[in-house]
Structure 1
Amino acid sequence: MPLSTTPTVVKRYIGFELQRLREAAGKSQPEAGKEIDTSKAKISHFESGRNLPSLLEAEALLNFYGAPDLIDLFKDLIVQAREAKSSFDLDPSLDLAPGFSMYVGLEQGASRIFTYDAVVVKGILQCRRYAEATIRGYLGGEDLSDDQVHELVDLRMRRQNVLHRTEPRLDVVAVINQGVLYHQVGGPVVAAEQLAHLLSTAERDNVTIRVLPYDIGAHPALHGPFTRLEFPIPRDPGVVYLEDLVGGRYRDDTEDIDRYADVGDRLLELALPERESLSLIDTIRRELAP
């Protein structure tokens, strides 16, 4: 199986499958650890995607779980993930929120990203000046040097290169709360520039932007913004990423992912059609900076 995504995604997938197979076999983490003469903690690290098992460990675990037919596939994935060079290196000196480094690797390997933007436009759709204003605002810009801010902005801009990737193609669907469009992050001129950036980005055939209007009232995403990522690997259920003041966290239980998928589908039902959404964005843009 060729590696058509990032090593981060493959590690997460291997972990997900090892957990699924273990649970299907009715085995506990301590039992799995005993089988390969290691600890429950190490099995947990395999299943979380934090670490890759060795080829021998993978073979032993798959035999223990009654899935010897998957041994060659897993070995191939492990070798490729170890040997692959990341096309997106993160500067270790950057003070990134906990969980975000992993998110960048997942984002770069995703085949589809759905976002609900309830407070601010998500980073993958931000223009440079809007990105700088958000970083200086909610990351405590007064405590960051200009060089640090510029490095974080550059990272955000480099992340957007994935929109131009063709293999595998990335499709982005963003539902943006109407209130976000009026929020003058960086002032009216920068806010208008951001709306113009949304309009130009929406011209790409792999980017869809829809606006959730004020008048729909209560809706199933009142709990806040979220991002759901899907990956080009068979049986991979994807992952949901949530972020707050102290960092990012993940929902990778299949039932949770399905619930967020249902919420996303409902938001698309409630949102304005694409053409009306872009028209509204342009109207607000002109109001902000005539």
Structure 2
Amino acid sequence: MALSTTPTVVRRYVAFELKRLREAAKKNQSDAAKRLDCVATRITHLENGRNLPRLIDVEILLPFYGVPELVPHLQDLVASIRTGGPIVELDVAAMKLPRGFDMYVGLEQGASRVFTYDPVVVRGILQCRRYATAAVRGHYGSELSDDRVGEIVDLRMRRQEALDRVDPRLDVVTVVDEGVLRKEVGGPDVAAEQLAYLLTLAERDNVTIRVLPPGVGAHPGFHGGFVQLGFPIDRDPGVVYLEDLSGGRYHDDTDVIDSYTAVGERLLELALPEQESLSLIDTIRRELAT
């Protein structure tokens, strides 16, 4: 899959990936600063996107974090930011990241807020394992081996660990079409399990699920589903992510983001209140379970 994105988005990703790799290696910022022979605030600036790392920084830090194989990949991204035009084309299949970790997931892991509008399928970060397996298999058919399907599903399950994150806390707000809840993905038993899973997730104070009923008629979300990511960075406008069969696209132009913000706000106005949404989810769950 190709990803069409901008240098600004790639810059955020590099910052979040440096932080994630350091934490995975159980190193603190002082350890990294000592390795680079610099002050700890420089590591902070590299990890929040204020400063872009030098190629030599990447060459020194990544082996220190235990992932020397990622040096060429991250250096290529840094170089693309410094020399690239307004659009950067990335081939996820060629990205030498930890297994299954792509650009979107890296940004999602650094986000403090995720808003989604889902008119087709429950968003991956909210899927239970059996539903995720059925969704992936249904989408790709026999194109993927069982092992590859398992890898994709494992990634979706690992992504949900972000819901437990404290710093920065991740808040997820999703508006889902009622029709999505009634789709028997994997059969009625799996679909019912997915709805029960949504009810469990909704018990968290950082997960809000709202249902858009068919009675609202025409609405500004007719252009399709989308994800809007917000980051704990001062004056950062965030990123809108769109995906279709040909790949993913990122938008960080403020006018585009403002348009999607307005769409999201309107969808929340049209959606059922939170408790009514959860009651409807439970009603559909019981219907499927019978």
Q: Match of 1:65? A: none
TM-score between the two structures when normalised by the length of structure 2? 0.70
Asked if 1 retains the 8 angstrom alpha-carbon contact of 2:125 and 2:156, the reply is yes
4+ runs deviating over 4 angstroms: 71-76, 79-87, 95-100
Which whole-Å deviations, capped at 9, do the CAs of 1:141-168 have from their partners, x for residues lacking one? 3121111111111011001100000110
Structure 2 residue 270 is matched with structure 1 residue 270: yes
Give me the whole-angstrom Cα distance separating, in 1, the residues matched to 2:136 and 2:199.
22
Asked if 2 retains the 8 angstrom alpha-carbon contact of 1:176 and 1:212, the reply is yes
Which letter maps to 1:77? N
Alpha-carbon distance, 1:210 to partner: 0.3
Q: Match of 2:164? A: 164
Q: Match of 2:173? A: 173
Give 5+ residue unaligned stretches, structure 1. 1-11, 17-46, 53-70
SS at match of 1:209: strand
Give me the whole-angstrom Cα distance separating, in 1, the residues matched to 2:102 and 2:276.
36
Alpha-carbon distance, 1:86 to partner: 10
Give me the whole-angstrom Cα distance separating, in 1, the residues matched to 2:258 and 2:106.
22
Pairing partner for 2:51 from 73, 77, 102: 77
Give 5+ residue unaligned stretches, structure 2. 1-5, 15-41, 74-90, 96-100
Structure 2 residue 151 is matched with structure 1 residue 151: yes
Structure 2 residue 120 is matched with structure 1 residue 119: yes
Alpha-carbon distance, 1:251 to partner: 1.4
Which letter maps to 1:142? S
SS at match of 2:51: helix
Q: How does 1:59-78 map to 2 (within 5 A)?
A: 77-78=51-52
Q: How does 1:49-64 map to 2 (within 5 A)?
A: 49=11
Asked if 1 retains the 8 angstrom alpha-carbon contact of 2:175 and 2:271, the reply is yes
Tell me how large the CA RMSD over aligned residues is: 3.2
Which letter maps to 1:262? A
Q: Match of 1:195? A: 195
Asked if 1 retains the 8 angstrom alpha-carbon contact of 2:117 and 2:227, the reply is yes
Alpha-carbon distance, 1:77 to partner: 3.5
Which letter maps to 2:106? G
TM-score between the two structures when normalised by the length of structure 1? 0.70
Q: Match of 2:131? A: 130
Structure 2 residue 111 is matched with structure 1 residue 110: yes
Alpha-carbon distance, 1:211 to partner: 0.3
Change (3 A) 1:244 1:268: same
Alpha-carbon distance, 1:78 to partner: 3.1
Asked if 2 retains the 8 angstrom alpha-carbon contact of 1:231 and 1:238, the reply is yes
SS at match of 2:236: coil
Asked if 2 retains the 8 angstrom alpha-carbon contact of 1:132 and 1:150, the reply is yes
Asked if 1 retains the 8 angstrom alpha-carbon contact of 2:13 and 2:103, the reply is no
Asked if 2 retains the 8 angstrom alpha-carbon contact of 1:98 and 1:247, the reply is no
Which letter maps to 2:279? S
Larger Rg belongs to: 1
Alpha-carbon distance, 1:49 to partner: 3.3
Which whole-Å deviations, capped at 9, do the CAs of 1:235-256 have from their partners, x for residues lacking one? 1110000011111111111100
Asked if 2 retains the 8 angstrom alpha-carbon contact of 1:97 and 1:247, the reply is no
Change (3 A) 1:222 1:206: same
Give me the whole-angstrom Cα distance separating, in 2, the residues matched to 1:98 and 1:249.
17
Asked if 1 retains the 8 angstrom alpha-carbon contact of 2:11 and 2:52, the reply is no
Asked if 1 retains the 8 angstrom alpha-carbon contact of 2:171 and 2:207, the reply is yes
Asked if 2 retains the 8 angstrom alpha-carbon contact of 1:115 and 1:174, the reply is yes
Aligned length in residues: 224
